[in-house]
Structure 1
Amino acid sequence: MQHCRLSHLLRAGLLTAVAATASMTAAADTPLKVGFVYIGPIGDHGWTYQHDQGRKALEAQLGDKVETTYVESVPEGADAERVIRNLASSGHKLIYTTSFGYMNPTAKVAKMFPDVTFEHATGYKRDKNLGTYLARSYEARYVGGFLAAKMTKSKVVGYVASFPIPEVLRDINAIQLALNKYNPGAEVKVMWINTWFDPGKEADAANALIDQGADVIFQHTDSPAPAQTAERRGVYAVGYASDMLSFAPKAILTSVVNNWAPYYVSTTQSVLDGSWQPRDYWGGMAEDVVQTPLSDNVPAAIKAEAETIIASIRSGEFHPFTGPIKDQSGQVRIPEGSVASDADLAGMDFYVEGIQSELPK
């Protein structure tokens, strides 16, 4: 009887071990559910489109290790919190929220779901399970400012702006710094429209800036409307987030392109292998997160000079925010010989010398 009982126990133990192994294998084979929250439609051909291209690259490179979900056109505020919470409660273990106004909702939901990893684009609030990431778009803006300095005849450059947050102010200032160096007296005129995506408002703002003399149009909004307006009006444009050359082939000088794929792949892999840690990631030209494709609308000599500037930024030899840099009042913000720190850039709340527009209160 003892032998039979021992045999039974061994069989039971073996079955338990087999079941546990099967369970572990099933868990290992279960894909990581990754959620994305988008401010605009994936067809905006700008900011959201590029984030979704990054999501697709993530699927292509990590294959059946991941399962991705996205929710598009989510307003900032209460709706965002609801969407983020729904993703977290439905088994998503990694969630990317891709607009500045998602910062507080993301931080709030992250505290509710400590076993979920959150990544927020362009914000500054972090936690044990919440990291932040952004692109050094000011690097490409400086190159665009150089091109504008060389191509403008009116010495007026227009900027269709979304919201007066540090990310937008950095980019406006980078353009003006390039103008100050390569075409003293040229200035950026800014028009705030308080939206990220509204093609009608974007086009109206571009038209208003052109009416005020702007012959190069920049944008910090998400549709191709400003570039298309520039082409219709016979002036130049610099696209944003995506390469907008196909939408305005006669107008585009370059585009400030955000390539999110490298970050999404590496960050998701770190969650898969258990090495993820919260951090404040800044990706620029050196990491191929920011790209500046130069169009054939740029004369060869100017293009060659632009390539030299791009190479110097990529290598770290040159930083667009190198002092001395003064604000509109003449106060020195970055001393001579100093380079703006990431903290300086993250909290930028002023216009540099040369911009005549008034900063919104």
Structure 2
Amino acid sequence: MKRTALLAGVALALGLAGAAVAQTKVGFVYVGPVGDGGWTYEHNQGRLAVEEEFGDQVETVYVENVAEGPDAERVITQMALQGADLIFTTSFGYMDPTVNVAAKFPDVKFEHATGYKTAPNVSTYSARFYEGRAVQGTIAGMMTESNIIGYIGSYPIPEVIRGINSAYIHAKKVNPDVEFKIVWAYTWFDPAKEADAAKVLIEQGADVILQHTDSTAPLAAAKAAGNVIGFGQASDMAEYKPSPRVSSIIDNWAPYYIQRTRDVMDGTWESQSVWQGIDAGMVEIGEITDTVPEEAKAAALEVMNGIANGEYHPFTGPLNKQDGTPWLAEGEIADDGTLAGMNFYVEGLTGEIPQ
């Protein structure tokens, strides 16, 4: 009798111990450092939100500064081998490495940010950053005095081209004399290159700098130049408020990361493609500071609110392509397929998109 009770007690203890370690392991692969103040910082805030939401039910791991390409495939493979149940790969260039690794680990769930390739165990997710660019372009067009707006592009991929087009369309709407100058940095995160790009644009007369790169270096360059404004990219970059940072696009990944982790935990995860914007809260507009004149602030908020309530789409015709050929007729709205693969400038932008 005593022996039976003892064995039952041991079994119960082992069962409780087993329950205690049955964590869901969630991995994150980052293209920059978690302290970049921008893109990777916000993804890491999402990871921390997962920890806060689920406590000891989850274990999160991450690797930062992972180069796009073969190195990414190695890191993702290692995460899967180390028992990750769910892996978020957070840069466009991780697309093929993610799909390749997923084929070898069919029981692991993968989530790739900003890509377009899916599989039974691979989802994609992205934010409609171009909606935030419409707000920024409105402010930029109304605040520039030189009528020259500088734009630092990372890589000439559809996501970045969409942003340039959206910002230009909305700057041009409020200021027909506006001109965009674009410098390609060919990096997501390199403070020195980003600062150099900003300085080149400022030397060319730009008094507003927009960026699709991840560090605060362009804002630092704007501050050093004086009389130049800029915007927070991917995170608020609030340390540069009230100027040169006059507003920001904030990527809020936390709700998505929490939901997809919950889906894995309760067995309801399925492959999907998600593209959310201001209305869903994945794209947020940071505080528009008092440096922005009231008229410009009101115009920017009108654009933001129109997008949020579904009454306005940033790509609404009439719009032509750069070579003057018609693209969207009066009142026509761009479809998601065209936006997702955008490889052209709109009419009025100068220069060629690098191939």
Q: TM class by shorter-chain length?
A: over 0.9
Matched with 1:184 is 176
Q: Deviations over 1:145-192 (max 9, x none)?
A: 000011011111101111000110010000011022111131221100
Which residue identity lines up with residue 55 of structure 1 in the other structure? R
TM-score w.r.t. length of structure 1: 0.92
Q: CA deviation at 1:245?
A: 3.0
Higher mean C-alpha displacement, 331-340 vs 257-266: 331-340
Q: Is the 8 A contact 1:185 1:354 kept in 2?
A: no
| Alignment match of 2:339 (pick from 342, 345, 351) | 345
| Alignment match of 1:281 (pick from 260, 269, 274) | 274
Q: Is the 8 A contact 2:242 2:290 kept in 1?
A: no
Matches within 5 A, 1:237-316: 237-247=230-240, 249-293=242-286, 294-316=288-310
Q: Is the 8 A contact 2:143 2:296 kept in 1?
A: no
Which residue identity lines up with residue 338 of structure 2 in the other structure? D
Q: Deviations over 1:111-131 (max 9, x none)?
A: 000000000000000000000
Q: Distance in 2 between matches of 1:24 and 1:166?
A: 50
Q: Deviations over 1:81-112 (max 9, x none)?
A: 00000000110010000000000000000000
1:335 pairs with 2:325: no
Q: CA deviation at 1:334?
A: 2.7
1:156 pairs with 2:148: yes
Q: What is the DSSP-based 3-state SS (H/G/I as helix, E as strand, rest coil) of the residue aligned with 1:281?
A: strand
Which residue identity lines up with residue 281 of structure 1 in the other structure? V
1:110 pairs with 2:111: no
Matched with 1:3 is none
Q: CA deviation at 1:301?
A: 2.9
Q: Distance in 2 between matches of 1:330 and 1:226?
A: 32
Matched with 1:34 is 26
Q: Distance in 2 between matches of 1:38 and 1:205?
A: 23
Q: Distance in 1 between matches of 2:92 and 2:12?
A: 44
Q: Is the 8 A contact 1:227 1:248 kept in 2?
A: no
Q: Distance in 2 between matches of 1:171 and 1:28?
A: 46
Q: Is the 8 A contact 2:146 2:206 kept in 1?
A: yes
Give the superposed CA RMSD: 2.1
Q: CA deviation at 1:247?
A: 3.0
Q: What is the DSSP-based 3-state SS (H/G/I as helix, E as strand, rest coil) of the residue aligned with 1:75?
A: coil
Q: Distance in 2 between matches of 1:253 and 1:60?
A: 31
Matched with 2:312 is 318
Q: What is the DSSP-based 3-state SS (H/G/I as helix, E as strand, rest coil) of the residue aligned with 1:286?
A: coil
1:128 pairs with 2:128: no
Q: CA deviation at 1:324?
A: 2.2
Q: Is the 8 A contact 1:159 1:189 kept in 2?
A: yes
Matched residues, number: 351
Q: What is the DSSP-based 3-state SS (H/G/I as helix, E as strand, rest coil) of the residue aligned with 1:128?
A: coil
Q: Is the 8 A contact 1:227 1:237 kept in 2?
A: yes
Report sequence identity in percent. 52
Q: Is the 8 A contact 2:126 2:275 kept in 1?
A: yes
Matched with 1:4 is none
Distance 1:319 1:28, change over 3 A: farther
Matched with 2:48 is 56
1:173 pairs with 2:165: yes
Matched with 1:206 is 198
Q: Distance in 1 between matches of 2:168 and 2:74?
A: 39
Q: Which has the larger radius of gyration?
A: 1
Q: Which runs of 4+ in 1 moved over 6 A?
A: none
Q: Is the 8 A contact 1:39 1:48 kept in 2?
A: yes
Q: Distance in 1 between matches of 2:327 and 2:123?
A: 28
Q: Is the 8 A contact 2:152 2:210 kept in 1?
A: yes
Q: Distance in 2 between matches of 1:128 and 1:335?
A: 38
Which residue identity lines up with residue 260 of structure 2 in the other structure? T
Matched with 1:355 is 349
Q: What is the DSSP-based 3-state SS (H/G/I as helix, E as strand, rest coil) of the residue aligned with 1:282?
A: strand
Q: Deviations over 1:199-225 (max 9, x none)?
A: 111011001011111110011111100
TM-score w.r.t. length of structure 2: 0.94
Q: Is the 8 A contact 1:245 1:295 kept in 2?
A: no
Q: Deviations over 1:268-290 (max 9, x none)?
A: 11111111111111121111111
Structure 1: 5+ residue stretches without partners: 1-6
